[in-house]
């Protein structure tokens, strides 16, 4: 296991072989080791409110943040909007399903 800035890394072969703590491979591509257990689904603010005020509800802070970003994107200049929107390569647009390429039209 390689420790870089407090984050644990291991190579993919050691991860699949359940040897992450023994991994010392620095010449292979390293992958961040995920924490054990179920991932946290709430942001720190909602989690703190749940603990202090006994309020248990779904965290929608990310949805509100995304809604604010989409509003900012709609108000942005067209040149900025073009840079911020995701583009799809031309090959995927012209041929969305490669299996249908060789079929004859009916």
Contacts of 99 (CB under 8 A, 6+ apart): none
How confident is the model over 4-21, as a mean pLDDT? Answer: 90
> Residue 47 in 3-state DSSP?
helix
Q: Are both 25 and 53 inside the same structural domain?
A: no
For the chain, what is the domain count? Answer: 2
Mean pLDDT of the chain: 72
Q: Are 3 and 21 in contact (CB under 8 A)?
A: no
Contacts of 19 (CB under 8 A, 6+ apart): 10
Domain with 27, as residue range(s), is 2-32
Q: Are both 80 and 49 inside the same structural domain?
A: yes
**pLDDT band at 60; cut points 50, 70, 90:** confident
- Does this model's pTM top 0.95? My answer is no
In a domain? residue 102: no
Name the β-bridge partners of 8: 3
């Amino acid at each position: 296991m390689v420790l870089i800035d407090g984050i644990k890394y291991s190579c993919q072969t050691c991860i699949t072989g359940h040897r992450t703590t023994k991994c010392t491979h620095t010449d292979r591509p390293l992958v961040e080791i995920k924490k054990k257990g179920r991932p946290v689904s709430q942001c720190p603010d909602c989690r703190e409110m749940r603990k202090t005020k006994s309020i248990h509800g779904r965290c929608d802070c990310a949805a509100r943040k995304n809604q604010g970003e989409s509003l900012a994107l709609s108000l942005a200049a067209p040149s900025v909007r073009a840079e911020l929107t995701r583009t799809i390569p031309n090959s995927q647009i012209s041929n969305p399903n490669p299996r249908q390429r060789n079929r004859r039209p009916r």
